[in-house]
Amino acid sequence: MRYLEADYQGEEILTAKKGALGLIALNRPRVLNSLSHDMILAFGEALDAFEAAPDIAAVLVTGEGERGLCAGGDIRMFYESGKAGDGKASEFLKAEYRLNARIAGFKKPYIVVMDGITMGGGVGVSSHGSHRIVTETTKLAMPETGIGFFPDIGATWLLSRAPGELGTWMGLSGEAVNGADAITAGFADWYVPQDRVAELLERIVALPAPALGATIASIIRDYTVDGPTGIFSEGRTMIDRCFAFDTVEEIIAALEQEQGDLAARTLTAISAKSPTSLKVTLRMLREARRSRDLETCLEREFAGTLQVVKVPDFYEGIRAAIIDKDRNPKWFPATLEDVAPESVEAFFAARDERLFG
């Protein structure tokens, strides 16, 4: 949603300056601002320009349209590239993951309004930022286990640092959470009613550049309210109890012993996911807990994606989700018991191709 009027320039990435703010808007609203390779490159160029500009004190990121900030990366392109073996998927992911690291290390305040659907790659361009605003419309998720993939874009770093086992629940179930839950899990910072965001941003724009960086947080706090309760307010104890295990089988067995709607819904959600993806995701999250930084997690995720295109579940997941849209994927292997340890290990094999260094 566009909260500030300015002289925007560009196509899939719009940029502008207003006051001491550099504005970046994702502009593919018909596809929920899903990220293309060109968008990722243009986004990085905009960050470079705004970081170097002495008259810009902070950056604001929003999404065009009414439905959300960003639904993720262009998975149809990834699907087609994997089928063709043309390497485009690998180049896309290299650029995306480097952008995620760039955002995390951005040297000026990075304000993002996480309206509506904020999923997958949308989390990557928001939750690595420094000043993350959610509203009553926010629906945040890492739904990759439902398409034969695993949480990427540095999400293993974020998920593994969520309190207790909230990140494990998010990563395995792929379920969406509201703005309040996003804050609880450490994916966002402030809950601001959508009808007050424009006023908030106008106050920020009115500040001179020298004062802006030091006062953004205090201004946002003036507009912050307590959001409605979410899944985590009622389900935290159950989630921590059931998701503390290091095998998916143990987690499912624990859920089967639980009473209550959330446990039942979670069990149903996980049971529909790719068994291979579930095992890879849990291993990724446990490895991330022992990792020293975001870049280490991104390298591990990138190595894993090189294996994704070699196994059938990703192609089947995309077929069911966006090609045929029957929402009925046929996973192979079809059960957790049939997922061989070596097939999981293949996602963690050392690769010559690297993102950093």
Residues that are catalytic: 73, 121, 144, 152
CA gap 212, 221 in Å, rounded: 14
Peptide bond preceding 312 in cis form (omega within 30 of 0): no
- Cα–Cα distance list, 174 to 45, 88, 96, 255 (Å): 31, 26, 21, 16
Backbone angles phi, psi at 14, to 5 degrees: -100, 140
CA gap 110, 57 in Å, rounded: 10
**Structure token pair of residue 87:** 């390497």
CA 247 to chain centre: 24
- The DSSP secondary structure of 79-112, one letter per residue, reads HHHHHHT-SHHHHHHHHHHHHHHHHHT-SS-EEE
Nearest to 24 by CA among 63, 51, 67: 63
Is the torsion defined by CA of 119, 162, 91, 99 positive or negative?
Answer: positive
The full 3-state SS of 17-37, as one line of letters, equals EECCEEEEEECCHHHCCCECH
CA gap 273, 260 in Å, rounded: 21
Residues 6+ apart with CB under 8 A from 278: 145, 172, 248, 270, 336
Pairing assessment for the beta strands 13-18 and 9-10 based on DSSP bridges: antiparallel
Nearest to 121 by CA among 70, 47, 179, 158: 70
CA gap 347, 287 in Å, rounded: 12
